[in-house]
Homo-oligomer: A and B are copies of this chain.
Amino acid sequence: MWTFDAPPLEYWKGRYGFEPGKAWLEHVQLSNVRIPGCSASFVSDRGLVMTNHHCARACITAVSPRDTSYQEAGFVSRDEAGEKRCTASYADQLISMEDVTARVRSAVTAKVTAAQVAQRDKAIDEIQVSCQTATGLMCQVVTFYQGGKYSLYRYKRYTDVRLVMAPEEGTSFFGGDPDNFTYPRYDLDLTLLRVYDNGQPLKAEHYLRWNSNGAREGDLTFVVGNPGSTGRLLTMSQMEYLRDVQYPATLAGYKVQIALYKELAAQSEVNKRRYENTIFGLENSQKAVTGYNAGLIDAAIMARKAAFEKDFRSRIMAKPDLAAKYGQAWDNIAKAQKELGSFAVLQQFQGFGGGSNLLNLAAGLVRIPEQEKLADSLRLPQYRAQGMNRLKAQQTQAIPIDADVEKRLLAMQLTMAQKALPANDPFLAAALGGRSPEVAAEALVNGSKLGSVEARKALLDGGSAAVLASTDPLVALARKVNPLATKHAMRALKLNTAISANVELVGQAIYAAYGESMPPDATFTLRISDGVVQGFPYNGTVAPYRTTFYGFYARSAEFDDKPPFKLPPRWQAARGAVDMMTPMNFVLTADIIGGNSGSPVINRAGEVVGLIFDGNIESLPNRFIFTDEIARSVAVHTKGIVEALRKVYGAARLADEVETAGVKK
């Protein structure tokens, strides 16, 4: 994930014999745009912009007429006049970058951290404002290496963005949650937008030429876009904490929740529909965390990380000034992580989260008056400033509460606590009082009035006195548990603050030790990643470097055309018309992460050959350590896009536009 002001020219030359000129890089940079949360690119001289369907969801929904969901039915504008403006959308084109580290640093003269932070933020703000005033551009100072480097990024913002074409969600997200994060894959995760300028399609000076042959096996390719965030600079002790403490707890929680909701879903058709999304969501989170964790429990990957950290620390220790400044950071982090681990179980179970909504509401009622008495900086973070207002508002909103489900959730939470805590634990004593989790949950929920807005509002308005006087059994429980839970939360807060401060030092140290030979962690700013189009071993056999329309129709047929494998009507109708051999998706070894969605895949010539939309399940550990043995990025193939536009969506005008853009007529 290289920045455009520090492309790895030597590495590219050595590894691929690829030597792009300044013009190539500048053209590619200017052909890309950043949209909210995603990446995108110009693909015609009339301002046509390509991105993912899931990146344009807000726009697609906003422009749908009252009686039609374009999200579901798809949208194809027959002509430019029919293209629909997405009022809340914009697209930012990165015009230039400037290293402003010295300017930021020179503004920081204070010796106290809080004052230093204030000086730094003020300096950054001034740089941004003066840039904006001088240039009229959107200016942003980007913090790389947790403060190792500051760069001023200047963007031209386009605010007239219109929806041109979007397939049905059944096509863009074919295979739904099950196929999400996996490959082989068959998704046309595409939306075409158009940037207008002064009411006319933008005469884009820079746009990516379209290559309808698309990506072929073994091709060198580049992904250009805005990766959001990575954890590549986490230290070993942070990763071990995730592996040994946090992820096991998270996964255990998902497991019991999934089991519970599946049991509820099995009770009736109504429940099945009611909990379908909850189960899918939990299973997808489970899939993701299991994937992240896969790298952490892989001895070979962790050994690689350990070797890197050893080298890194020895570089720092070799220079006295660096050693003095950064040398202690790793041990400080490790110490704090260790202490966090020492009471993680207590923090998790002597508290309110992970189960019953009613118990959570009770906790809020107990805590709001208590926290309100404290100065903002002494409060639990979620009770500071606007947070307090949000929490109060929640208490007075009608929330659908199903008493039976609450009992199950509370019993689940108590059962887990019972397994994790010693028999004489004060939380268990307060919550169970010798009863089984099921009996206790039944009594607590039956006895509570907190399902009613009025009851909550009365307690909220009554403040401390009302809370203290309440005989509601959940409020009584929350009163007893609150001192314990708050003690753990404050202790964890202190430790995490210490970790953050030291993590900043590690980030700066990496820049000091390796300079730009080590790209900075992702910052949702423009990067370029190199990779090769290549299949990978999977499921005991091999996954192909690309899939085809044949495979798309196959996967639908093989699940009897049932959702989420149902073919939208347009594709049913086009069955005889499309060329089944057309490539649909393909995989490449380039490094991507959330935020890269919508990134173009380009070839040596800078032509677009694909559209990134996901990673395979084997790529999930890349959040922490990048490997490319079996991890792959997944993209839509340009040939598939053109075939679909022409044969399925009746959008030959758009296929013609991308294929002939820039070709002299």
Contacts and interface: CB of A to CB of B under 8 A. Distances in A.
A540 B217 contact: no
Interface stretch (A72-80, A237-245, A253-261, A544-552): A544-552
A321 interface: no
Interface in A490-526: none
A540 to B, nearest CB: 4
Nearest to A216: B560
A555 B558 CA distance: 14
A179 interface: yes
Interface in A527-566: 538-542, 544-548, 550-551, 553-555, 557-560
A156 to B, nearest CB: 40
A287 interface: yes
A560 B175 contact: no
B553 A558 contact: no
Nearest to A552: B554
Nearest to A556: B550
A580 interface: yes
Contacts of A181: 540
Contacts of A540: 181-182, 287, 291, 617
A88 interface: no
A539 B539 contact: yes
A558 B554 contact: no
A581 interface: yes
Identical copies of this chain, number: 2
A178 interface: yes
A559 B586 CA distance: 12
A179 B551 contact: no
A417 to B, nearest CB: 24
A437 to B, nearest CB: 25
A553 B557 CA distance: 13
Nearest to A177: B541
Contacts of A617: 539-540
Interface string A165-189: 0000000000100110110100000
Interface string A451-469: 0000000000000000000
B547 A554 contact: yes
A557 B581 contact: yes
A132 to B, nearest CB: 45
Contact of A544 (B184, B541, B542, B555): B555
Which among A178, A184, A541 has the highest number of chain B CB atoms within 10 Å? A541
A554 to B, nearest CB: 4
Given A181-B540, A182-B539, A540-B182, A554 B548 contact: yes
A184 B547 CA distance: 14
Contacts of A551: 550-551, 554-555, 557-558
Interface in A273-296: 287, 291
Contacts of A559: 544
A448 to B, nearest CB: 39
A287 to B, nearest CB: 6
A550 B557 contact: yes
A617 B541 CA distance: 9
Contacts of A541: 175, 178-179, 182
Which among A175, A538, A554 has the highest number of chain B CB atoms within 10 Å? A554
Interface in A380-418: none
Given A538-B539, A539-B182, A539-B538, A548 B557 contact: yes
29 contacts: A175-B541, A178-B541, A179-B541, A181-B540, A182-B539, A182-B540, A184-B558, A291-B540, A539-B539, A539-B617, A540-B617, A544-B558, A544-B559, A546-B558, A547-B554, A547-B558, A548-B557, A550-B550, A550-B551, A550-B553, A550-B554, A550-B557, A550-B558, A551-B551, A551-B554, A551-B558, A554-B554, A557-B580, A557-B581
Given A548-B554, A551-B554, A557-B581, 19 more contacts: A175-B541, A179-B541, A181-B540, A182-B540, A287-B540, A538-B539, A539-B617, A545-B558, A547-B558, A550-B550, A550-B551, A550-B553, A550-B580, A551-B555, A551-B557, A553-B554, A553-B580, A554-B554, A557-B580
What are the nearest 3 A-B pairs in CB distance?
A550-B554, A544-B558, A551-B554
